[in-house]
Amino acid sequence: MNDAVARALREFNERLDVFDPAPGPAVAEVRVGEQVIALRAPVVRALTEALLRYQDPRDRGTCDHCGSPRLDDNFVCADCARPSGVFGQLLAERASRYEPPAELT
Protein backbone atom coordinates (compact mmCIF):
# COMPACT_ATOMS: atom_id res chain seq x y z
CA MET A 1 0.00 0.00 0.00
CA ASN A 2 2.86 2.40 0.80
CA ASP A 3 4.28 1.96 -2.69
CA ALA A 4 0.91 2.79 -4.25
CA VAL A 5 0.60 5.98 -2.18
CA ALA A 6 4.18 7.04 -2.94
CA ARG A 7 3.70 6.32 -6.64
CA ALA A 8 0.44 8.31 -6.71
CA LEU A 9 2.15 11.29 -5.06
CA ARG A 10 5.11 11.15 -7.46
CA GLU A 11 2.80 10.92 -10.46
CA PHE A 12 0.75 13.82 -9.10
CA ASN A 13 3.98 15.84 -8.80
CA GLU A 14 4.95 15.01 -12.37
CA ARG A 15 1.50 15.80 -13.77
CA LEU A 16 1.50 19.27 -12.20
CA ASP A 17 5.16 20.09 -12.91
CA VAL A 18 4.37 19.83 -16.62
CA PHE A 19 2.20 22.95 -16.30
CA ASP A 20 4.65 24.93 -14.20
CA PRO A 21 8.14 25.11 -15.74
CA ALA A 22 9.53 27.02 -12.72
CA PRO A 23 7.65 25.53 -9.77
CA GLY A 24 10.25 26.64 -7.19
CA PRO A 25 11.68 24.67 -4.28
CA ALA A 26 9.88 22.02 -2.26
CA VAL A 27 7.77 23.53 0.51
CA ALA A 28 6.58 20.29 2.09
CA GLU A 29 7.61 16.67 2.33
CA VAL A 30 5.42 13.63 2.73
CA ARG A 31 6.94 10.52 4.28
CA VAL A 32 5.43 7.23 3.16
CA GLY A 33 7.19 4.42 4.95
CA GLU A 34 10.87 4.91 4.10
CA GLN A 35 10.14 7.11 1.10
CA VAL A 36 10.08 10.91 1.25
CA ILE A 37 8.30 12.78 -1.51
CA ALA A 38 9.07 16.49 -1.84
CA LEU A 39 6.17 18.71 -2.89
CA ARG A 40 6.50 22.14 -4.48
CA ALA A 41 4.04 24.96 -3.80
CA PRO A 42 1.78 24.37 -6.85
CA VAL A 43 1.51 20.70 -5.91
CA VAL A 44 0.74 21.52 -2.26
CA ARG A 45 -2.03 23.93 -3.36
CA ALA A 46 -3.51 21.36 -5.75
CA LEU A 47 -3.28 18.55 -3.19
CA THR A 48 -4.93 20.73 -0.53
CA GLU A 49 -7.75 21.60 -2.93
CA ALA A 50 -8.20 17.94 -3.86
CA LEU A 51 -8.37 16.91 -0.19
CA LEU A 52 -10.92 19.61 0.62
CA ARG A 53 -13.12 18.55 -2.32
CA TYR A 54 -12.94 14.84 -1.60
CA GLN A 55 -16.25 13.23 -0.76
CA ASP A 56 -16.25 9.69 0.50
CA PRO A 57 -18.56 7.44 -1.57
CA ARG A 58 -20.10 6.27 1.73
CA ASP A 59 -21.09 9.84 2.58
CA ARG A 60 -24.85 9.96 1.98
CA GLY A 61 -25.46 13.21 3.84
CA THR A 62 -26.89 13.44 7.33
CA CYS A 63 -29.94 11.88 8.93
CA ASP A 64 -33.05 14.09 8.76
CA HIS A 65 -34.03 12.99 12.26
CA CYS A 66 -30.87 13.01 14.40
CA GLY A 67 -28.21 14.60 12.16
CA SER A 68 -25.93 11.55 12.20
CA PRO A 69 -23.70 11.14 9.11
CA ARG A 70 -23.95 7.33 9.31
CA LEU A 71 -26.54 6.39 6.68
CA ASP A 72 -26.37 2.94 5.09
CA ASP A 73 -26.95 2.00 1.42
CA ASN A 74 -30.71 2.16 2.02
CA PHE A 75 -30.48 5.57 3.72
CA VAL A 76 -31.31 4.05 7.09
CA CYS A 77 -29.56 5.79 9.97
CA ALA A 78 -27.15 3.60 11.96
CA ASP A 79 -27.77 5.72 15.06
CA CYS A 80 -31.57 6.19 15.23
CA ALA A 81 -32.54 3.37 12.80
CA ARG A 82 -34.99 5.59 10.88
CA PRO A 83 -34.97 6.04 7.09
CA SER A 84 -33.67 9.46 6.08
CA GLY A 85 -34.95 11.66 3.28
CA VAL A 86 -37.56 10.98 0.63
CA PHE A 87 -35.43 8.27 -0.97
CA GLY A 88 -34.95 6.46 2.35
CA GLN A 89 -38.67 6.71 3.06
CA LEU A 90 -39.52 5.26 -0.38
CA LEU A 91 -37.11 2.36 0.13
CA ALA A 92 -38.58 1.64 3.58
CA GLU A 93 -42.15 1.70 2.23
CA ARG A 94 -41.27 -0.62 -0.64
CA ALA A 95 -39.44 -3.00 1.70
CA SER A 96 -42.46 -3.15 4.03
CA ARG A 97 -44.74 -4.13 1.12
CA TYR A 98 -42.33 -6.68 -0.35
CA GLU A 99 -43.53 -10.28 -0.32
CA PRO A 100 -40.96 -12.87 -1.35
CA PRO A 101 -41.92 -15.30 -4.13
CA ALA A 102 -43.44 -18.56 -2.89
CA GLU A 103 -40.37 -20.59 -3.92
CA LEU A 104 -38.26 -18.55 -1.47
CA THR A 105 -40.55 -19.00 1.55
**Choice from 37, 40, 77, 88 touching Zn ion (CB under 5 A):** 77
CB 49 within 8 A of CB 42: no
> Of 34, 42, 54, 39, nearest to 9 (Cα)?
39
Task: Verify binding: residue 65, Zn ion, rule CB under 5 A.
Answer: yes
Helix (H, G, I), strand (E, B) or coil at 35: strand
Part in contact with Zn ion (CB under 5 A); list of ranges 10-18, 32-40, 43-51, 62-70: 62-70
User: Rounded distance, CA 9 to CA 38, Å?
Assistant: 9
Task: Verify binding: residue 6, Zn ion, rule CB under 5 A.
Answer: no
Nearer of residues 17 and 64 to Zn ion, judged by Cβ: 64
Which residues are near Zn ion by CB under 5 A?
A: 63, 65-66, 68, 77, 79-80
